[in-house]
Amino acid sequence: DQQVKQNSPSLSVQEGRISILNCDYTNSMFDYFLWYKKYPAEGPTFLISISSIKDKNEDGRFTVFLNKSAKHLSLHIVPSQPGDSAVYFCAAGGAKGTNAGKSTFGDGTTLTVKP
């Protein structure tokens, strides 16, 4: 049973427009969520995170929204740039129980930003 799901394998947007990447989770014990960005043949790099006590976190062009009741989070990139083209992974973790000390990753969404 996959606890973190990214249902869209790919997304294509025009440069300057908004990119919205979605992530759903099933485990209510998750209390911290992170987004990572990955280029081919490289390791992922941390992008932005959000705690379950918040519903929004913003860092420059990147904003993450959390809807706890729906167990859903989304990453907004505005405006999108060609250099944002990469695979984006959603990850979830918690401080208690079997989630303590580790993160569970989704399968990733490949974002392509067209010039």
Partner 1 sequence: DGGITQSPKYLFRKEGQNVTLSCEQNLNHDAMYWYRQDPGQGLRLIYYSQIVNDFQKGDIAEGYSVSREKKESFPLTVTSAQKNPTAFYLCASSWGGANSNQPQHFGDGTRLSIL
- What residue ranges bind partner 1 (CB under 8 A)? 4, 6, 9, 31-32, 34, 36, 41-46, 49, 51, 89, 92-96, 99-108
* In the complex, minimum distance from the CB of residue 31 to partner 1, in angstroms, rounded to a whole number: 8
Residue 86 is classified by DSSP as: E
**58 pairs with which residues across the strands?**
63
For residues 37 and 85, which CB has a smaller minimum distance to partner 1 in the complex? Answer: 37
Amino acid letter for position 1? D
* In the complex, minimum distance from the CB of residue 75 to partner 1, in angstroms, rounded to a whole number: 15
* In the complex, minimum distance from the CB of residue 74 to partner 1, in angstroms, rounded to a whole number: 17
For residues 5 and 61, which CB has a smaller minimum distance to partner 1 in the complex? Answer: 5
Decide: residue 3, CB within 10 A, 0-12 exposed, 13-18 middle, 19+ buried.
middle
For residues 15 and 49, which CB has a smaller minimum distance to partner 1 in the complex? Answer: 49
Unique residue bearing structure tokens 């911290």 = 32
CB 64, CB 33: distance < 8 Å: yes
